[in-house]
Structure 1
């Protein structure tokens, strides 16, 4: 960024403004995702961030860097979106078959996985930290934290801002920010290392083959005893192999349209598959390998039929 570019953007030059924010767009989008837990919400928040930055740029005094200023806007808008989302009731989802009684409840209907392909657009030094912070287990933990607690954790431990800078972004005192950070650190799960070698890929291939054939017994052979299945935005959750198997059998028997075809992608560093039913995209599957990489610890079946577009996948398979 040069002073000439900044002056031009302040005077209303849209091309100069676009050049200013373009290098930061992807990392800001990722920040919005971490706080909201939703790629769709991150898209919407980024539109608000860019509009607020465009309108506020003439008043940008330069007391902080442009990056810090934009992160303050992104953090505020993300927290607002997260707060407003809690006020909107979500419609109940009706399965096209009679599912068995769930063994637990899943409390994050807004949750969506983040495409690895978008992380690949960051510079290599940023990618390593970014991948750890978009693992679904980490994002789920962030959604269960008080919003400002999650925000200060991301600002300090992921993005490298000081506690004082984070406090200013959140309009709170440094002491309060330090307390939020300490509590957030104690609640944040450690990233789970996953073998990305041939064993990892082989497990994903075996799962895709068994699932696409509705071979429930073969799927169950790949699961840990304590494996669980959740289906955001639905609230049902099935815990342990028997409960997961009961659901998969009911789904296979009652699903109109036959079996799914799976197209492999990667989400949050984990194997994922866009589901196609009768050639049309019908949501996304993400599997979480166990720590030793030999079994599957969880299955997340995202029921949003538009989610595939974030992964650059077509609406239909010919």
Structure 2
């Protein structure tokens, strides 16, 4: 028997049947995807590295010989793949990570900063009471953004120790280092994350019936360009970010004036669909009507609710996110303006 992270598992001998091995390894795919996403901040990159992890595991399964649990071995491969990938990639950010907010509602927009890699939202996994995929809050957008501030090895240590609850000795074996080095890296990572991560009282409200109603009201107000309604829904210190646009705002009056002057005059007819991302965080998939009458993917707005108001909106203007989040590719011309929830 082999006890890992508080769970007792049985070490399995490597099977001769590669298909059987792949089937058992694939059962860990959802949690490996969450792990790689925490490390990389990108769903697309995480998908690629999970595929690489399973391929490397399949190629080496005959030499595995059950010396550790299959889960431990897969996490070791996945973490190594992530660290290698991070050697050749820039840190992913959201606009707030680039500098101070703007206080100018007339600031020039539509000037995306070139060469910047943006953090991406992640779809919530399908409900599965039998599967432990993530710890509560461990893939919330604010935390993913904060994790990207850590050096890669510190990031790996903190995720493996504090999120996944591997023991220090196990993490040391996984990373090919000493327990003392793991403990030192963990202390530095915690100190740095404390400065970057949200405080406990900043965690968003649950997406319950009241939360969904708030999101729906917000979507209607935006679709109707209703500044007065938006003013009632937004907190005074609301943060509005719109990657790939590097400009962002952290004041309700400035954000509303920006919307009134620069966004609403050019806003086409639109439709929204509600969904949950990043461990139950509310989001709106926004579709804009084209010349053909069809509503095409435009942006995914990830919202933070606090004290029953909108505290933050990160509007990812990237239609390529729609398939990654399992969203419809288009909505028919006759689609009603009411917000419906996809899941």
3-state SS of the aligned residue for 1:272?
A: strand
Q: Note the aligned Cα RMSD (angstroms).
A: 2.7
3-state SS of the aligned residue for 2:237?
A: strand
Residue 23 of structure 1 is matched in structure 2 by 27
For residues 179 and 119 of structure 1, the distance between their equivalents in structure 2, rounded to whole angstroms, comes to 37
Against the structure 1 CA distance between its residues 102 and 229, is the aligned structure 2 distance closer, same or farther, given a 3 Å change threshold? Answer: farther
Residue 259 of structure 1 is matched in structure 2 by 269
Q: What does 1:51-130 correspond to in 2, within 5 Å?
A: 51-86=55-90, 100-101=106-107, 109-116=117-124, 118=125, 120-121=127-128, 123=130, 126=132, 129-130=134-135
Q: TM-score, normalised by structure 2?
A: 0.78
- 1:8 shift after superposition: 2.0
Matching residue within 305, 308, 313 for 2:319: 305
Residue 190 of structure 2 is matched in structure 1 by 185
Which aligned segments of 4 or more residues in structure 1 are displaced greater than 6 angstroms?
A: 105-108
Residue 206 of structure 1 is matched in structure 2 by 217
- 1:137 shift after superposition: 1.1
Residue 141 of structure 1 is matched in structure 2 by 146
Q: What does 1:132-171 correspond to in 2, within 5 Å?
A: 132-171=137-176
Matching residue within 236, 252, 265 for 1:225: 236
Against the structure 1 CA distance between its residues 313 and 210, is the aligned structure 2 distance closer, same or farther, given a 3 Å change threshold? Answer: same
Against the structure 1 CA distance between its residues 147 and 3, is the aligned structure 2 distance closer, same or farther, given a 3 Å change threshold? Answer: closer
Against the structure 1 CA distance between its residues 141 and 3, is the aligned structure 2 distance closer, same or farther, given a 3 Å change threshold? Answer: closer
Q: TM-score, normalised by structure 1?
A: 0.84
3-state SS of the aligned residue for 2:60?
A: helix
Check whether the contact 1:111–1:233 (CA below 8 A) recurs between aligned residues. Answer: no
For residues 80 and 102 of structure 1, the distance between their equivalents in structure 2, rounded to whole angstroms, comes to 38
Kindly indicate which of the two structures has a greater share of residues assigned to helix: 1
Unaligned regions of 5+ residues in structure 1, if any? 89-98
For residues 122 and 77 of structure 1, the distance between their equivalents in structure 2, rounded to whole angstroms, comes to 29
Residue 244 of structure 1 is matched in structure 2 by 255
Q: What does 1:289-304 correspond to in 2, within 5 Å?
A: 289-290=305-306, 292=307, 294-304=308-318
For residues 180 and 159 of structure 1, the distance between their equivalents in structure 2, rounded to whole angstroms, comes to 16
Unaligned regions of 5+ residues in structure 2, if any? 1-9, 93-104, 290-294, 333-343
For residues 37 and 121 of structure 1, the distance between their equivalents in structure 2, rounded to whole angstroms, comes to 23
- Please state if 1:270 is matched with 2:270: no
Check whether the contact 1:230–1:236 (CA below 8 A) recurs between aligned residues. Answer: yes
Against the structure 1 CA distance between its residues 20 and 303, is the aligned structure 2 distance closer, same or farther, given a 3 Å change threshold? Answer: same
Cα deviation code 1:88-140 (max 9, x no counterpart): 9xxxxxxxxxx83289x999742111212x1634735x25x534101111111
3-state SS of the aligned residue for 2:299?
A: strand
Against the structure 1 CA distance between its residues 202 and 146, is the aligned structure 2 distance closer, same or farther, given a 3 Å change threshold? Answer: same
- 1:34 shift after superposition: 0.7
For residues 220 and 106 of structure 2, the distance between their equivalents in structure 1, rounded to whole angstroms, comes to 24
Check whether the contact 1:282–1:304 (CA below 8 A) recurs between aligned residues. Answer: yes
- 1:229 shift after superposition: 1.0
